[in-house]
A and B are shown apart, each in its own frame.
Chain A
């Protein structure tokens, strides 16, 4: 088990290094680094100074070395637009994005699993067919478009929910979040639902596929032969078995939730990391782009690692060595 963790951690570190190399190469070698790293408004004197400061006149390998050293110390450059260290800006915005992503995940799971299991148990019923048809719809509709529709409906037409921004925050158990206030909830609901919709159809399909496979297994039949009521058979015997692949996929999909939040945050003007990077790409604020990429890669690699470890915990066949 420990060997497994060590090996996976090593792999993750390698991936991190490779990605950092790719980011570095992409930013510094493709195109003109002068354009990329220096504020386009600077005059020649300023440009020369920054070139020396950033070491752009040094050999490439040395530049990469300094890039990594700085990265480790948390220095990923300064934003052109805000003048603040890029890393600091991103970290400031992270809680908002995390909050949105987690809430979306919660919605996707709490609705997705029951719907999917139902569709798996009664695949030919009208309700199941509707669920599956809607899931194709949910899967096909681009996130940004759903967001627009939601805004149009609930904000512009009905005026029930606000369309932009984040609500008030409150702190409980040391966590500061906007879901603890009513105003916050009304602001987070639409964007979270928007983000969740895409995942919802994934979860439904997974739960359905898993259910259809597991329900045919001998151990389900045996559970019924023992006289257990169907409710327990589904809640305990079925659910625990389909959760393993679902949790794995959800863990990985959480990363894509964070990625897609770039779109949702733009549509709903939600002040998270995603909006930051879209604006940064627009404004050619390269240091933020670089910093964001590094952070995202870090999040992803960590997420993959955690999911791998979690998988081995959940499946006792992997966790405990068996007889054969």
Chain B
């Protein structure tokens, strides 16, 4: 008499539903995702949602400078978060600043991802000398702290938007390369790659269409965490006066500008942009953390 194995059964769904049910196991992560989406919205539509345009010189009045949060100007508009030394509305400045911070962070992240993934995937697929050399470079670069690399690049090349983005890309690509290579190595040994090779599909096709989609998960995890890191790094550089120019202030620059006012008690010029920065970074990190837990094969799920 053939026996049967009794199973208790939560049969997992697949695809997006499963992803969402795993992700929402952590209410914190869901909350963080929501917050991030709000921030993204503000950043994208800053000119529309912002009460004033702080960089339109005509609308800024020096008479309004250093007003406390909640004070009003002549026309009865409220400066919810106060004004800075030149009379600009802090809330608007923060909105525009979010735009720059997120924009630079995301752009550098995407470029770094493309470059890093290309190097990592190729290294894993082709192996040999190329792989050894590429990975050596990655290892050495990763052994230096990111801020140092960024300082070096900016010290040598000078300040500016493009140069900051280049610096951020150069700092980050190595993380992506390492993650891409690691997961590509795992995939490379699976049978479907061998099958594709037997069909004499071109190398590029195999890498792009077959291996890469399966490596996306860890890359996305690295992507979220690195983006947060890039935003933080850019803010630090701007604060030090080395990153973006004054014409396109990111949150870091706002904080830096407000630093001196702190000693006389006008804390809002520095603190509120800082809070905005913090919320952005923390929400991205929380989402990234949960993503990492979901995609980690070693944790029993």
List residues of A whose CB falls within 8 A of some B CB. Answer: 15, 23, 26-27, 30-31, 133, 136-137, 139-145, 148-149, 151-152, 156, 252, 255-256, 259-260, 262-263, 266-267, 277-278, 281-282, 289, 293, 296, 300, 304
Which among A139, A144, A145, A151 has the greatest number of chain B C-beta atoms within 10 A?
Answer: A145
Chain B stretch 79-97: residues in CB contact (< 8 A) with chain A = none
Partner of A289, one of B143, B155, B263: B155
Residues of A within 8 A of B147 (CB): 256, 259-260, 262-263
Contact assessment for A152 and B271 in the assembled complex, using a CB-CB cutoff below 8 Å: yes
Q: A148-B262, A278-B240 are in contact. Are A136 and B278 (CB under 8 A)?
A: no
Of the listed stretches B63-71, B102-110, B213-221, B279-287, chain A binds B279-287
- Tell me, rounded to whole Å, the shortest Cβ–Cβ distance linking A291 to chain B: 12
| B residues near A282, Cβ cutoff 8 Å | 241-242
Name B255's contact: one of A31, A144, A156 (CB within 8 Å): A144
Q: Are A140 and B285 CB-contacts (below 8 A) given A263-B240, A278-B240, A281-B151?
A: yes
Partner pick for A30 among B143, B157, B277, B289, CB 8 A cutoff: B157
Rounded to whole Å, the gap between the CB of B119 and the closest CB of chain A is 18
Report the tally of A-B residue pairs with Cβ distances under 8 A.
99
Q: Supply 12 further A-B pairs (C-beta < 8 A) apart from A140-B281, A255-B144, A278-B242.
A: A26-B156, A27-B156, A136-B289, A141-B281, A144-B255, A148-B270, A152-B267, A156-B267, A252-B143, A259-B145, A263-B236, A300-B144
Q: CB distance A304 to B143 under 8 Å?
A: yes
Least CB distance, B134 to chain A, in whole angstroms? 15
Interface string of B129-158 (1 = CB under 8 A from A): 000000000001001110110011011111
We find that the number of chain B residues with CB closer than 8 angstroms to chain A is 39
Provide the residues of chain A in CB contact with B262, threshold 8 Å.
148, 151-152, 156
* B interface residues with partner A (beta carbon < 8 Å): 28, 140, 143-145, 147-148, 151-152, 154-158, 228, 232, 235-236, 239-242, 252, 255, 259, 262-263, 265, 267, 270-271, 274, 277-278, 281-282, 285-286, 289
User: A296 to B270, alpha carbons, bound, how many Å?
Assistant: 31
In angstroms, Cα B267 to Cα A137, docked, is 21
Measured between beta carbons, the chain B residues less than 8 angstroms from A300 are 143-144
| With A136-B285, A300-B144 as contacts: A262 and B255 at CB distance below 8 Å | no
A139 to B225, CA, bound (A): 11
Chain B: minimal CB distance from A275 (Å): 10
A-chain residues with CB within 8 Å of residue B144 when the two chains form the complex: 255, 259, 300
| Residues of B contacting A: mostly | helix
Q: Which residues of B contact A145 (CB under 8 A)?
A: 235, 255, 274, 277-278
Distance (Å) between the CB of A128 and the closest chain B CB? 14
Question: Are B151 and A262 touching (Cβ within 8 A)?
Answer: yes
| Of the residues B148, B267, B278, contact of A259 by C-beta under 8 Å | B148
Closest to B289 in A: A136
CB closest chain-B residue, reference A297: B144
Q: A142-B236, A156-B265 are in contact. Are A137 and B282 (CB under 8 A)?
A: yes
Chain B residue with the shortest CB-CB distance to A282: B241
Partner of B145, one of A141, A149, A255, A304: A255
**Is the Cβ of B282 less than 8 Å from the Cβ of A140?**
yes
Nearest CB in chain A: distance from B225 CB, A: 10
Q: Is the pair A15, B236 in contact by a Cβ cutoff of 8 Å?
A: no
The CA of A142 and the CA of B157, in the complex, are separated in Å by 24
Q: Pick the contact of A148 from B140, B241, B242, B255 — CB < 8 Å?
A: B255
Docked complex Cα distance between A142 and B145 (Å):
14
Least CB distance, B85 to chain A, in whole angstroms: 16
**Distance of A260 Cα from B240 Cα, bound (Å):** 12
Lowest 6 CB-CB distances: which A-B pairs, in order? Answer: A256-B145, A26-B156, A259-B145, A259-B148, A140-B281, A142-B232
Q: Tell me whether A293 and B281 are in contact (CB under 8 A).
A: no
Which chain A residues border B145 with CB–CB below 8 Å?
Answer: 255-256, 259-260
Give Cα A267 to B252, complex, Å.
13
A136 to B32, CA, bound (A): 13
Give the CA-CA distance A263 to B147 in the complex, in Å: 9
Minimum C-beta distance from A79 to chain B (A): 14
* Complex Cα–Cα for A139 and B286 (A): 11
Which of B156, B271, B289 has the largest count of A CB atoms less than 10 A from its CB? B156
B133 to chain A, nearest CB (A): 12
- Nearest CB of A to B250, in Å: 12
Are A142 and B155 touching (Cβ within 8 A)? no
Most buried by B among A140, A151, A282: A140
The residues of B that contact A255 with a CB separation of less than 8 Å are 143-145
- Chain A residue numbers with a CB within 8 Å of B259 are 148, 267
**Chain A minimum-CB-distance residue to B153:** A26
Question: Which of B151, B155, B255, B267 gathers most chain A CB within 10 Å?
Answer: B155
Q: For the complex, what is the distance from the CA of A275 to the CA of B134, rounded to whole Å?
A: 34
* List of A residues within 8 angstroms of B281 by Cβ: 140-142
The smallest C-beta distance from B282 to any residue of chain A, in angstroms, reads: 5
B148 A296 Cβ-Cβ under 8 A: yes
Give the distance in Å from the alpha carbon of A293 to the alpha carbon of B155 in the complex.
10
B228 touches A140 (CB 8 A): yes
Q: List 18 A-B contacts (CB under 8 A).
A: A26-B156, A31-B157, A133-B28, A136-B286, A140-B232, A142-B277, A144-B240, A145-B274, A145-B277, A149-B271, A152-B262, A152-B267, A156-B262, A156-B265, A256-B145, A259-B144, A281-B154, A300-B144
